[in-house]
Amino acid sequence: MKDLMGKAAWDYFHNENPKDLQTETSISELDELPVAYLFRDFEEMNDIEQKALELAQGKVLDIGSGAGSHALYLQNEKNLDVLALDISPKCIEVCQLRGVKKAVCENMLDFSGETFNTVLLLMNGTGIFESLEKIDTYLQKLHTLINDNGQILIDSTDILYMFDRDEDGGVYIPAGGYYGELDYVVHYKGESEEPIKWLYLDFETLKNAAENNGFTIEKVMRDEDSYLAKLTKK
């Protein structure tokens, strides 16, 4: 991993000629991602993010923390005990430089030794599940990370709207797998990451998987094709 997302965050924080990131997927064209977006404050976050942060309580694990915006809000504005977790070394360094008190660079599947009242997975939190084939592995791991009365707050988007439809409203979905399984590529300053597997989930598919892995699930809110879900232990 070249850690291009982390490099962009590092450049922005240190004002070292930062450039916008570029992202693309196997079903979408190149898109600009302003690096400043990684440093947004609460007022600049979308409704789903704000709702999740409002619901967060107790000891919190922020998985995929990026530059630490969610963790900082919970730590500084809600006075919660927060641990930021990300696979990007540079992002974790930026988290620490921004004042996040607890920040760890590690894959969530390898992280252990603590349990939490709230686990956050935001900005298409289901993305890290990679594929339907691996979703049970990730959900079983998440089950071990929350207390008996803990909660997982996770968001995603049903991307069915991105596919073409016929005159009768039927959707042209490529054969050979679930339509939310995508390849995701990040570009920065002329460099490109290797494609990673990234999973968008419709709510019913997440619901079935969650219930099969010992969770009760509730759709907390919906915003067009996106949603925020809360998972708790059965």
Q: What is the 3-state secondary structure (H, E, C) of 148-179?
A: EEEEEEEEEECHHHHCCECCCCCECCCCCCCC
| Domains of the chain: total | 1
Q: Take residue 136 and report the two structure tokens written for it.
A: 């049970």
Whether 84 maps to a domain, the answer reads yes
55 has a pLDDT exceeding 70: yes
Whether 164 maps to a domain, the answer reads no
**For helices 47-55 and 69-76, what crossing angle results, to 10°?**
40
Q: How confident is the model at residue 176 (pLDDT cuts 50, 70, 90)?
A: low
97 residue type, one letter: L
Whether 176 maps to a domain, the answer reads yes
Domain that holds residue 54: 4-159+170-233
171 has a pLDDT exceeding 60: no
Whether 177 maps to a domain, the answer reads yes
Whether 180 maps to a domain, the answer reads yes
Q: How confident is the model at residue 161 (pLDDT cuts 50, 70, 90)?
A: confident
Whether 118 maps to a domain, the answer reads yes
pTM of the predicted structure, to 2 decimals: 0.94
175 has a pLDDT exceeding 80: no
Whether 141 maps to a domain, the answer reads yes
What CATH code is carried by the domain that includes residue 97? 3.40.50.150
Which whole number is the average pLDDT over 150-156? 98
Whether 165 maps to a domain, the answer reads no
Mean pLDDT of the chain: 95
Which residues of 1-122 form beta strands (DSSP E)? 21-25, 28-33, 59-63, 81-86, 103-105, 116-121
Instruction: Please say whether the beta carbons of 57 and 117 come within 8 A.
Output: yes
